[in-house]
Structure 1
Amino acid sequence: MAKSRSRIENDDCSSSPNYLTSMRGDDDQLLSHLFKGINSTSTITRSGWCLKDGTYHLLQACNGIFRPIVEAQGVETTFMSSEVEIHAEKEVTCFQSLCRAITGQGTSNSTAKIYWTRLTDLVGNDFCPENFADREDYEIYLQKEIGFSRAKARYIIGLSEAFVNGTLSELMLKTGSEKDIRDALLPISGIGDWTIDMFLIFHLQLPDVLPLGDLNVKKGIADLFSLRGKEKKEKMNDIMKPFAPYRSLAALYFWKVADSKPSSRKKKATKKLNSSPKKNNTMNCPENKRKGNIAKCSGSMDTPVAKRTKRLRRKVTP
């Protein structure tokens, strides 16, 4: 706690000492309320940092600009050890985590889950690199059985071969520095900065990863700081510096906010539905005396089908 407080006093967003003292008192109360009943041991993440300390730091940074988000969304439980134990029957390997990240590339969350379920069911309990790399024509097999694109199937096979030939290893990925991990993964086909960021955040649970390649994170920063126009990546990186060393936690909150909002497609559909004119369903229509048309009435089920004129066809919308 003390480390987080001293860091806030020295950042560019700090305010007067009296204001900070008052704000800290409110944040202490909020923190106690949020983590009430939560075992302190479960707030220690896989990489050793404390979720409670990270949440307190977000509340304090930049005069508490993040506080409304934390108040609205509550505790971010993704990194809690109790949640990890519930959702994982056995430890997930680095290879499996990277495969899942590749599976989710360029697809929606629901589609990614379907692909991942098919892949795990296909491989079974023997989900290891050798099970992919040693089979001939396995790329075609993955396309047919899982529904992968040709490129995505190749990415999975290429990753498997990198583990088999020693280019990558579980030990190096678990114990190496962030720079070493990035340098090792970037040359692998199908693995870019976004995939590495997802691996560092969700599998290794490193505290200070800021995935600026993610649209929801960039939108979250823009909304939080009222940025307009296309802001450069460097500017967003500078803006988020006061939230270090817990920017991974900030990213999780941005995703949580994005998930809690209705999609723009749903908004448009609702707006269109509400604004669409009501159809005329009256059964009593005046007789249509136009030559060649026999009593056309849109609401009558008993109206005989009339010969359509050229003008009528132009009015019909597909």
Structure 2
Amino acid sequence: MRMPYDDAIAHLQAVDPVMHAVVDVVGPCAFAHRAEGTHFEAVARSIVYQQLSGKAAGTIHRRFHALYGDRAPEPAELLATSDETLRAAGLSRQKIGYLRDLAARVASRDVPLDDIDALDDDGAIAALSRVKGVGRWTAQIFLMFRLGRPDVLPELDLGIQRGVQLAYGLPALATPREVQAIGAPWAPWRTVASWYLWRFVDEQNGGQLGD
């Protein structure tokens, strides 16, 4: 029986012998995107989680949702919530500003989150990047894990840079330009390749392919 990413794995292993070895080390692909909730909720969550450990971010995120009956707020609800209330949930002033900017832009349709599925990857990244605190990396992660786009390569991600370093035996972290150049043959399955690199780093625990 064919699995969901058989075509992607066959392509990656055919075009790149190093990626062939990475796939062999990691095993079957378990990549999945999150379909539950709303796009607004997903972007707001990414803002809350920025620059925090998973445990600390999870605690603040739960307190944030608790303000609205243990659910994600609508943009208008967030805009109507005082800074003091949001601060009490553990959000920094900077993140409150980012969340308000997101809510205002979604409410005004300056950022058309409800229709973002209709945009191509570059268009979606450009739209999301209009929000304060949402840069290229955050937008790419949204495309991968929210929209399930198959050909996204987050070249700014430290895990991806480390994965390329380990797999290809580079003396230092791969630069974004190196990631893009090495990853070019992986198209149109660069999301799947990225998932494999993240898992490869986990498997290696700082080791080197072939050690």
TM-score (norm 1): 0.59
Show the counterpart of 1:140.
84
Paired residue type of 2:28 = V
Measured against aligned partners, the alpha-carbon deviations of 1:127-177 in whole angstroms (never above 9, x if no partner) come to 321210123x2x3322212x1211012111211111111212233312111
Matching of residues 49-68 of structure 1 within 5 Å? 51-63=5-17, 65-68=18-21
CA contact (8 A) 2:161 2:174 kept: no
Shift of 1:119: 2.4
2:81 is the counterpart of 1:128:
no
Matching of residues 62-211 of structure 1 within 5 Å? 62-63=16-17, 65-79=18-32, 91-123=36-68, 124-125=70-71, 127-135=73-81, 137=82, 139-145=83-89, 147-211=90-154
Relative distance call for 1:115 and 1:252 in structure 2 (3 A) is farther
Total equivalences in the alignment: 206
Show the counterpart of 2:209.
none
Shift of 1:115: 2.6
Shift of 1:206: 0.7
Show the counterpart of 1:239.
182
Secondary structure of the 1:111 match is helix
Shift of 1:114: 2.5
Shift of 1:126: 5.5
Measured against aligned partners, the alpha-carbon deviations of 1:35-54 in whole angstroms (never above 9, x if no partner) come to 6xxxx5xx2xxxxxxx2211
- Larger of the two Rg values belongs to structure: 1
Secondary structure of the 1:66 match is helix
Measured against aligned partners, the alpha-carbon deviations of 1:93-140 in whole angstroms (never above 9, x if no partner) come to 1101111111221122333323323323332346321210123x2x33
Secondary structure of the 1:76 match is coil
Paired residue type of 1:209 = V
CA contact (8 A) 1:101 1:198 kept: no
Distance 2:67 2:58 in 1: 14
**Which structure 2 residue ranges, 5 or more long, are not aligned?**
207-211
CA RMSD of aligned residues (A): 2.4
Distance 1:190 1:227 in 2: 31
Secondary structure of the 2:165 match is helix
CA contact (8 A) 1:172 1:181 kept: no
| Range 160-169 or range 67-76, more displaced | 67-76
Percent identical residues: 25
Distance 2:205 2:165 in 1: 18
Distance 2:182 2:199 in 1: 20
Shift of 1:262: 4.9
**Which structure 1 residue ranges, 5 or more long, are not aligned?**
1-31, 44-50, 264-318
Secondary structure of the 1:168 match is coil
Measured against aligned partners, the alpha-carbon deviations of 1:162-198 in whole angstroms (never above 9, x if no partner) come to 1111212233312111122122121211110111011
Relative distance call for 1:243 and 1:126 in structure 2 (3 A) is closer
Distance 2:39 2:181 in 1: 31
Q: Which of the pair has the greater relative contact order for Cα pairs under 8 Å at 6+ separation?
A: 2
CA contact (8 A) 2:41 2:72 kept: no
Distance 2:25 2:176 in 1: 27
